[in-house]
Amino acid sequence: MYIGASKAGYSNSHMRNRLFVFCLVILASFCKGQIVCESSFVKDTMSIPETGKVLDGEYIETVLKDFSEFRIFRATDDKYYLRFIVKQNFYFNKTDVLEIRSGSKSYYVKNTKQYKINKTTGLFVVEVFKNYVSTLKEEGITSLYFSKAETDFTNKDAKQMKDISKCVYKSITLKK
């Protein structure tokens, strides 16, 4: 009888441990799937290169696989800007149409200029409409097409851009 009680005690303890591990795994998967947005926004200023105008606002950004950067900037006047720092396909100081591809959808920005940061880095700053952030949250950005050159992003990069776009979109819908 003593042996049976010992087995029952082990069984209950073992079941509690399994339940604890199961709950921990479920909780961890929920936390991983959630995007923490509020702590990701940074208050800052941004200058618009073509006008020299300095805007107050906040941004959220991500660094991509090739060390390119993608930033969504929300100005205090509720305008939205995308800033790309790219590490390939340079056409410094050239003005052309920038096509931002999001899966099968495209967003065209006329008279866009790629600015030179240094010999291996270019900069785009473009204003986008608030509703375009909704497209970005669904598709991310898969490539940029500028002056007959395409800058492709990996699936992981597109997902990172999609995730921060979800944060920005969430903040837009909370303001309404």
Residue with more model confidence, 39 or 95: 95
Return the pLDDT at 176: 58
| Interior angle at CA 72, CA 96 and CA 158, nearest 5 | 80
Q: pTM value?
A: 0.76
Contacts for 162 with CB less than 8 Å, ≥ 6 apart: 136, 137, 138, 139, 140
Mean pLDDT value of segment 40-44: 90
Is the per-residue pLDDT at 31 higher than 90?
A: no
What average pLDDT score do residues 103-109 get?
93
What value does the mean pLDDT of the chain take? 82
CA distance 51 to 46: 12
Least confident range of 16-20, 39-43, 49-53: 16-20
The predicted pLDDT at position 144 comes to: 94
The answer to whether residue 9 scores a pLDDT higher than 90 is no
Band (pLDDT 50/70/90 cuts) for residue 32 is very low
Judge whether 85 and 73 are in contact, CB under 8 Å: no
| Residue 89 in this model has a pLDDT that exceeds 70 | yes
Looking at residue 18, its pLDDT comes to 59
Which contiguous run of DSSP H or E holds residue 152? strand 149-152
Instruction: Convert the pLDDT of each residue in 134-164 to its tens digit.
Output: 899 998 999 999 998 898 899 999 999 999 9
Rounded distance between C-alpha atoms, residue 133 and residue 167, angstroms: 10
Give yes or no for residue 28 having a pLDDT over 50: no
- 5: burial class by Cβ within 10 Å (0-12, 13-18, 19+)? exposed
